[in-house]
Amino acid sequence: MTTRTGRHRVVVVGGGFGGLNAVRALEHADVDVTVVDRTNHHLFQPLLYQVAAGILPPGLIAPSLRSVISKQRNARALLACVRELDLERRVVLAEGPDGRMLELPYDTLVVAAGATHSYFGRDDWAEFAPGMKTIEDARLLRDHILSAFEMAEIVTDPRERAEWLTFVVIGAGPTGVELAGQVAELAHMVLPRDYRSVDTTEARILLLEGAPAVLPPFAPKLQRYTHRRLEKMGVEIRTGTLAVAMDDESVTVRGSDGVEEMIRTHTHIWAAGVQASPLARMLAERAGAETDRAGRIAVNPDCTLPGHPEVFAIGDMVSLNGLPGVAQPAMQEGKYVGKVIKARLAGDEKITPFRYLDKGSMATIGYNSAVADAFGMKVTGWLAYVMWAMVHVLYLIGWGNRLGTLYTWMRGMVLSKNRGHRLITFEEAHEQAHREAPTPPAIRPPVHRAG
């Protein structure tokens, strides 16, 4: 239980973009801040796919929460799972790793629990098509991709080999495009010289999208460039196509013409949708607020809950002004909430509503290839890739991680043309080949990131 110091107590649920920015915005405030999360690290999700591709080690994009706030004397971090939000008593109930229950009383509560995967009512597909929201997800996906190539080296039946060398990515948003591009680079550029019995360039990478074009939120010019670039890299793109069934060894898809086709594959990667953390629904029930189809809770213009001005909800789990569930809104909302809390403590009740500054969007396709809609420009190719790299490196936490990322990129993608973090063991390959690996927390429906 938090010791009462007489200072204003702020509990922040979630150490992602929204929660961490709220904590840091309160660094010099006269408050005691407790941030509680199910992991002990802050995750820079935009680069998570590079862990899955063996480009970056996890530590560069997932610094310890404690190290991030170590110099902030008024903040502490707890590794715990939130079980209940008692808005009447103003207490957060969380379970510690040993099962003990913790009571965290608050004067102000900030819930930034993030989002998890959405299988659009087919949660059973999580067993066959893992998504990528956590470090554990990325590690398992990396193990599975590498194990597929190892199995292709072993098997002798051409049909079975083709199944191991078929990779299906479902969803052609930024994550799907980035993953498809990285698998294509692995198969066609990195791995061919490493294998003797199999030609990895025979790998078939399919990218499925229900919308008429890849990168649906982007401008048509950027969509067309991405489509052409992916096809040049060897990716087979199918727009207007939906997955309708799947099991361990296949995916059944339906095209815009209504015709169904079964694709034999051992690797299905889900990048098609997200839904709010279950904490959003819990919070809505406790506050009598509404949620949308994706489970996001409706909040007031100042990010507070209706009828509960002491409770803020931010990030991917909220519905506010139609903002997308990406990093920038969460970061800006976190900073805004920190300012609101400090203004209230100073006696200023005239708080302007949250206003989002759209800084644009970017997606990388492969080495030296990206698209960017930023600074009033729509850029493709090498220049977009440089812009993407600069922006993402600057948003990493700590100069050590920034320099380490730049060095790893230079060493792996420019100098050696290799992937330095593609280690697996027999046990890991065995688990992937037999689907015996336990389902990771982020794809056990439903599980939230922060609590």
Residues tagged active-site: 178
What are the DSSP calls for 74-121, one per residue? TEEEEE-EEEEEETTTTEEEEE-TTS-EEEEE-SEEEE---EEE--TT
**Measured between alpha carbons, how far is residue 368 from residues 143, 239, 413, 444 in Å?**
25, 24, 10, 36
3-class secondary structure, 361: strand
Structure tokens at 338: 């920190």
Cβ atoms of residues 82 and 39 within 8 Å: no
Spatial distance between the Cα atoms of 268 and 32, rounded to a whole number of angstroms: 45
Q: Which residues does 85 contact at the CB level (< 8 Å), separation at least 6?
A: 13, 92, 93, 109, 111, 279, 282, 283, 286
Structure tokens at 73: 């004397």
- 150 burial class (0-12, 13-18, 19+ CB within 10 angstroms)? middle
CA 351: distance to chain centroid?
31
